[in-house]
Structures are given as structure tokens and as C-alpha cells.
Amino acid sequence: MLINCAAYANGTKIADISIEQISDYLEPPENLVWVALLDATDAELAQMQEEFGLHDLAVEDARHGHQRPKIEEYGDTLFAVMHLVEMDHAEIRTAEVDVFVGRNYVLSIRNRSVQHFLGVRERCEREPELLRHGAGFVFYALMDAVVDRYFPIVDALESELETIEEHIFEKEAAQTNIERLYQLKRKVMQLKHAVAPLMEAVAKLFGGRVPPVCAGNQEYFRDIYDHLLRLNSSIDSVRDTIGTAIQVSLSTVAIEQNEINKRLAAWASLFAVVTAFAGVWGMNFKGMPELQWEYGYPLALAVMLLSCGYLYIRFRRARWL
């Protein structure tokens, strides 16, 4: 579905145009054509390929979707894949935006996303002196919008981790905490898969041999790289903390089990003493003097009770009971 198709000259919007008019507005070198599509069909991709002369391999990647974040160079054009990470009822959903960047055009295609880039277009149109930088600046603005939307996700994941940590030492909550930590770890890895590959790709846009369409905009892409570096560091920190929290939770489970085992062992010891005395005095030998003694039975009960009382006091002092 076509969202926007506009032409600009020297940083100023000159017209909203139809797809059929794209080739006409691409001829003047000072012009810039910016097209945005949502969930493009095969027919729309074929039409865009014809208008912009897109590379077959790049179009094939855009058609299939589900690509790893990357930036590939095809002659004097770029093809970029970025992941849009969206929070949906405490769950993370990953969408995709594919961007084709040429000398004087930018084509963005969003797939499976409810987010939009209308704010990016408005921002660029409010700053014609920056929009004069051409397609490279528009590419930066789109990437900057994608990266900026990662920060609230990281903050939400950190807040969720802090909430779990507040309950990590509560009794009988270890299993629930471990389950929540593993769910959080899966979310963190989804964000990691969006940030880390993109960070590697962006490093090629401001250092060494810079692609022609990005020439003159290196400082902007270096700023994006710094943002991605901060995000990646925060993600690694959250992931390490999750690993520590999981180990603490597992240790808590082991401690709780050890406490239960100590209680069971203490009660078993009490019954073992009674069983031992009862086993001795319960033997049917005629030569046992206690069997014929008038006070034998009360004495046996007293010995059992005193022994059990003594052991109970010792176990209580040792905090086994």
C-alpha cells in the first residue's frame, strides 16, 4: 500500500506525485523523490524496481522479508534492512523496514508494523537546510527514528528486571521468578538481534570508504553508531544481570530444599530414637529384667520422651526445626 510519494528540490517539497511520475522527477539532479510503502505487494515491488532500477537481489530480499539487519551496497545505491521492535501487551513483536537509497531517491517499505514514519517526513520538511543533503540525510533520519524507538524498549526491560529482583528472595517464589527471568531473557535477545547486526553495518557508513550516497553525512551516521553502542552496552548489562538473577534464584531453590531436608532429617531422628528404644524393649526374651519390673513401662516412656525432648531442643537451637 502506498503511504507517501513526494518530490523535493533543494530541500523543499515541490509536489505529491503519482508512481507513474517518479521517473520524470528523477531526471533533474537537484530533485529528491521519497516514497513510503506499507506491506508492499509483488506488483508494487515490480513497479518500484522499474521506476528506480533496483537490483534484483535487493528486491528479492524485500519481497521475502524476515531478513537480518544489514546494509548492502549495489553500485551507487544502498539497500538496508532494519528491525522495528514494538511492545505489544508486555510482549515484544519484531517488524521490518527495508530502505532503498539512491543518488536522488529514497524508498522505504514497512512490513508487519503498526508504527509509521510520518514524524520523520515532517521533521525533514521542517529542516530544508538539512534535507538539501539529499537521500543520505533522509536515510539517516529514517534510521535515527528506528534506533530512537529502541530506547523505551530497553527502559521497559530494565524496569521489568528491577520488579523481578524485588521479589527474588521471597519464599516459594523462586520458580515463578526463574520463569519470568527466562521470558525476559528471550525479549532481551530479540532486541539484541535487532541492535548488534545494525551496529556492525552502520560502522561502514562513516569510516573508511563511505558509500557515495552517504558522503557528506558521516557525522550523522557516527551519531547513530554511538546510540547503538549505548543500546548494545545496556542490553549486555541487562543480559548479564538476568544471568546473575537466574543463578541467585537457583541457589535460593537449593537453599529452600536444604532447609526442608534438614527438617525432615530432624523429625526422622526423633522418631528413630523412639523406634530404637521400642525395638530394644519390645524383644520377647525371658531374661530381660525390665519386662517383669513394675515401673519398667513408665520408665521406658520417660526415657523416650526425655531423649526426644533433648534432641528437639538441640535441633531448635541449630535451627533445623
Residue 264 pLDDT: 80
pLDDT-derived band at 161, boundaries 50, 70, 90: very high
Residue 291 pLDDT: 66
Residue 290 pLDDT: 66
Tracing cell 533433648 back to the chain, one arrives at 310
Q: Which cell numbers in the block locate residue 172? A: 516459594
Q: Is the pLDDT of residue 319 over 80?
A: no
Q: Which cell numbers in the block locate residue 274? A: 523412639
Q: Which CA distances in Å does 239 have to 2, 55, 152, 161?
A: 39, 38, 17, 10
Please check whether residue 246 lies inside any domain of the structure.
no
The residue among 83, 110, 131 that closes a domain is 131
Please check whether residue 176 lies inside any domain of the structure.
no
Name every residue whose Cβ is closer than 8 Å to that of residue 226 and which is 6 or more positions away in sequence: none
Tell me the average pLDDT of the chain: 86
Q: Is the pLDDT of residue 72 over 90?
A: yes
Which of 60-74, 185-199, 255-269, 275-289 has the lowest average pLDDT?
275-289
| Residues counted in the chain | 321
pLDDT-derived band at 287, boundaries 50, 70, 90: low
Give the 3-state secondary structure of residue 101: strand
CB 165, CB 238: distance < 8 Å: no
Residue 305 pLDDT: 83
CB 10, CB 132: distance < 8 Å: yes
Task: Find the mean pLDDT for residues 313-321.
Answer: 76
Q: Which CA distances in Å does 11 have to 95, 96, 126, 149, 173?
A: 30, 27, 9, 26, 59
Please check whether residue 144 lies inside any domain of the structure.
no
Tracing cell 557525522 back to the chain, one arrives at 219
132-158: per-residue pLDDT in tens? 888 999 999 999 999 999 999 999 999
Q: What percent of the chain has pLDDT over 90?
A: 39
β-partners of residue 107 are 35, 100
Name the helix (H) or strand (E) containing 95: strand 91-101
168-223: per-residue pLDDT in tens? 887 777 788 888 999 999 999 999 999 999 999 998 898 778 888 888 889 999 99
The residue among 107, 131, 155 that closes a domain is 131
Tell me which of 28 and 147 has the higher pLDDT.
147
Name every residue whose Cβ is closer than 8 Å to that of residue 176 and which is 6 or more positions away in sequence: none
CB 26, CB 20: distance < 8 Å: no
Tell me which of 274 and 103 has the higher pLDDT.
103
Q: Is the pLDDT of residue 309 over 90?
A: no
What backbone phi and psi angles, to 5 degrees, belong to 73? Answer: -105, 130
Please check whether residue 96 lies inside any domain of the structure.
yes
- Note if the pTM is more than 0.95: no
Give the 3-state secondary structure of residue 13: strand
92-107: per-residue pLDDT in tens? 888 999 999 998 999 9
Please check whether residue 212 lies inside any domain of the structure.
no
Q: What one-letter code names the amino acid at 102? A: G
Q: Is the pLDDT of residue 111 over 80?
A: yes
Q: Is the pLDDT of residue 284 over 70?
A: no
Please check whether residue 182 lies inside any domain of the structure.
no
Residue 215 to residue 196: CA distance in whole angstroms: 24
β-partners of residue 31 are 9
Residue 300 pLDDT: 77
Name every residue whose Cβ is closer than 8 Å to that of residue 293 and which is 6 or more positions away in sequence: 299
Residue 207 pLDDT: 78
Kindly report the CATH number assigned to the domain that includes residue 7.
3.30.460.20
Please check whether residue 249 lies inside any domain of the structure.
no
Q: Which CA distances in Å does 52 have to 43, 70, 100, 108, 120?
A: 14, 21, 9, 12, 22
The residue among 131, 158, 180 that closes a domain is 131
What backbone phi and psi angles, to 5 degrees, belong to 149? Answer: -75, -10
Task: Find the mean pLDDT for residues 50-54.
Answer: 90
DSSP letter, residue 290: G
Q: Is the pLDDT of residue 289 over 80?
A: no
CB 232, CB 195: distance < 8 Å: yes
Task: Classify 319 in phi/psi space as left (phi over 0), alpha (psi -120 to 50) or beta.
Answer: left
Kindly report the CATH number assigned to the domain that includes residue 285.
1.20.58.340
Residue 56 pLDDT: 92
Residue 285 pLDDT: 61
Q: Is the pLDDT of residue 238 over 80?
A: yes
Task: Find the mean pLDDT for residues 53-81.
Answer: 90
Q: Cα 13 to chain center, whole Å?
A: 38
What total number of domains does the chain contain? Answer: 2
Task: Find the mean pLDDT for residues 159-169.
Answer: 88
**CA-closest candidate to residue 5, choices 34, 38, 43:** 34
Tracing cell 529452600 back to the chain, one arrives at 256
Q: Is the pLDDT of residue 315 over 80?
A: no
Residue 112 pLDDT: 83
Domain ranges, residue 107: 1-131
Tell whether the torsion through CA atoms of 126, 129, 134 and 136 is positive or negative: negative
**CA-closest candidate to residue 110, choices 45, 35, 37, 58:** 37
Please check whether residue 284 lies inside any domain of the structure.
yes
